[in-house]
Amino acid sequence: MQREKIIRSLFTVSRKQSKMVLAELGGSISRALQQMSNATIIDEKVLNECLNEITRALLQSDVQFKLVREMQTNIKKIVNLDDLAAGHNKRKIIQQAIFTELCKMLDPGKPSFTPKKSKPSVVMFVGLQGSGKTTTCTKYAYYHQKKGWKPALVCADTFRAGAFDQLKQNATKAKIPFYGSYMESDPVKIAVEGVERFKKENCDLIIVDTSGRHKQEVALFEEMRQVSEATKPDLVIFVMDSSIGQAAFDQAQAFKQSVAVGAVIITKMDGHAKGGGALSAVAATKSPVIFIGTGEHMDEFEVFDVKPFVSRLLGMGDLSGFMDKIHEVVPMDQQPELLQKLSEGTFTVRIMYEQFQNILKMGPINQVFSMLPGFSSELMPKGGEKESQAKIKRYMTMMDSMTNEELDSTNPKLMNESRMMRIARGAGRQYRDVVEMFEEYKRLAKIWSKMKGLKIPKKGDMSALSRNMNAQHMSKVLPPQMLKQIGGMGGLQNLMKQMGSNKDMMGMFGGGDK
């Protein structure tokens, strides 16, 4: 019960705010940990100051004093400085204790049902009206289709006009079989017929979409219970809109009391992680969040993992997730070539274009930053992310109007005004936009040139990377604001140590065991 209260308080958005407190809370906790890391000696005073800062941040986020005090006590029990022998890394032990306590808040302690390909599984989706449930059904099916499942969709939503049309359109686009009816008004009958049909067709993941409903709509809740009893789903997924705020807990609890909710999917999550009140659904349903929807497209659907999530919240990063992003956008055969160009200090307009492509493929910039230890989503100013992505797209449009010779040139400043005017016209932009693009090129070329002389380590020799790509070298490359965010030279050295010890990072540079 206490864990439920903690989550409910921690992730509740006030009525006056549309933005959740999570990003601000994460920034406050990260700063408290950073201040502790900057201390020469970690003693009781430093520990208390760190915990007091975290306590203050939690209280400002409307977490009850009693519960915050309890968390503080638990951390102190884990971190007994008097009992720690000399040589123990006190900073790491304190950070790990805070990490563990926050994970407990978000983790209900029981895994969700996982469908198996060996037999057909029925998954029923429930949620509020407007939560994005129908789209999420298709995303869930599409995700498993890519993993080798044979999914199918059943539209048992007879309440909302156009529900079957929407599911039909989404399913057709994703090439997933579907079932529904324009004539039948009984959702139970449609659900049963659809499930039976797809079982005969050997579909191993049958997804039933139900009508969106509110806890006050008693008739619709009774209908939901009847669909559940008739189809006997292996898993009921509660879909929650991330912007719902304070209503999250009560609404989720109402669904849990009606059907056996076993998992939660949170929709409409963006780079700033808005709508943290929706995470109250974890407490109300005692069920884990299994996916989050991060956009409208089918592939904007991510597996939710508590530990990497809390790790990013604390500014500890998620290097494994970061390397997954790198491998997704930069094919393995292109990585050595990119590193070679980096070591030579060669930077052309084409390289800038390719790197812009990679940045856009990696998703929201704030999410990428949060995967790196020492960074936080606060690094990007409010509204700055969309503006940056729009600017990158403008630059790429202008580069599309350039010739191959111009793209491969390392000295585009020789281009005359007349040619720049033609590039602007070809891209539908102003002359000043082209000038701005080349100013950005010069700025990036300057940073790139500072990496000249970087030696690529031999296979398995990551110590060579640490020697050549030292903190002093990197500090000249990073923008001052970014260096400050990491924690100065000390923070940069710690970051590079983590990069050197990360197996995924070693693999990228040709190292690691075979």
The ranges assigned to domains in the chain are 2-106, 121-311, 317-454
So what's the pLDDT on residue 431?
Answer: 94
Share of the chain above pLDDT 70, in %: 62
The pTM (predicted TM-score) of the whole model is: 0.60
Lowest-pLDDT range of 2-16, 55-69, 229-243, 296-310: 2-16
φ/ψ (deg, to 5) at 379: -60, -35
More confidently predicted of 309 and 418: 418
- The string of pLDDT tens digits covering residues 148-165 is 999 999 999 988 888 899
- Residue type present at position 3: R
Does residue 252 contact residue 127 with C-beta atoms inside 8 Å? Answer: no
Query: In 408-487, which ranges are continuous DSSP H helix?
Result: 417-427, 431-449, 462-468, 471-477, 480-486
Averaged pLDDT, 3-27? 46
Alpha-carbon distance of 398 to 428, in angstroms, equals 8
pLDDT band at 368 (very low <50, low <70, confident <90, very high): low
Lowest-pLDDT range of 218-227, 266-275, 389-398, 460-469: 460-469
The closest of 349, 345, 343 to 413, measured between CA atoms, is: 349
Averaged pLDDT, 207-222? 81
pLDDT band at 17 (very low <50, low <70, confident <90, very high): very low
Is residue 175's pLDDT more than 50? yes
Averaged pLDDT of the chain: 74
Alpha-carbon distance of 308 to 325, in angstroms, equals 14
pLDDT band at 196 (very low <50, low <70, confident <90, very high): very high
For residue 50, what are the contacts with CB-CB under 8 A and spacing of at least 6?
Answer: 32, 33, 35, 36, 94
Query: In 330-383, which ranges are continuous DSSP H helix?
Result: 335-344, 349-361, 365-370
The closest of 251, 229, 227, 259 to 155, measured between CA atoms, is: 227
**What secondary structure does DSSP assign to 245-271, as a single string?**
TTHHHHHHHHHHHHS-EEEEEEES--T
Q: Supply angle C-alpha 373, 379, 382, rounded to 5.
A: 145
Averaged pLDDT, 344-373? 73
Distances (CA, A) of 109 to 63, 178, 442, 449: 21, 34, 52, 50
**What secondary structure does DSSP assign to 19-58, as a single string?**
S-SHHHHHHHHHHHHHHHHH-SS--HHHHHHHHHHHHHHH
Query: How many Cα atoms within 13 Å fall on the side-chain side of residue 427?
Result: 24
Alpha-carbon distance of 100 to 480, in angstroms, equals 32
Is residue 466's pLDDT more than 50? no
For residue 212, what are the contacts with CB-CB under 8 A and spacing of at least 6?
Answer: 127, 128, 129, 130, 131, 133, 157, 159, 160
So what's the pLDDT on residue 26?
Answer: 67
As a whole number of angstroms, the longest Cα–Cα distance in the chain is 76
In CATH, the number for domain 2-106 is: 1.20.120.140
- The string of pLDDT tens digits covering residues 292-348 is 887 778 878 888 887 777 776 666 665 566 556 656 655 555 656 666 666 677 788
Averaged pLDDT, 357-372? 66
Same fold, 2-106 and 121-311: no
pLDDT band at 15 (very low <50, low <70, confident <90, very high): very low
CATH topology of domain 317-454: 434 Repressor (Amino-terminal Domain) (1.10.260)
Does residue 40 contact residue 27 with C-beta atoms inside 8 Å? Answer: no
Give helix 384-399 / helix 431-449 axis angle, nearest 10°: 100
CATH topology of domain 121-311: Rossmann fold (3.40.50)
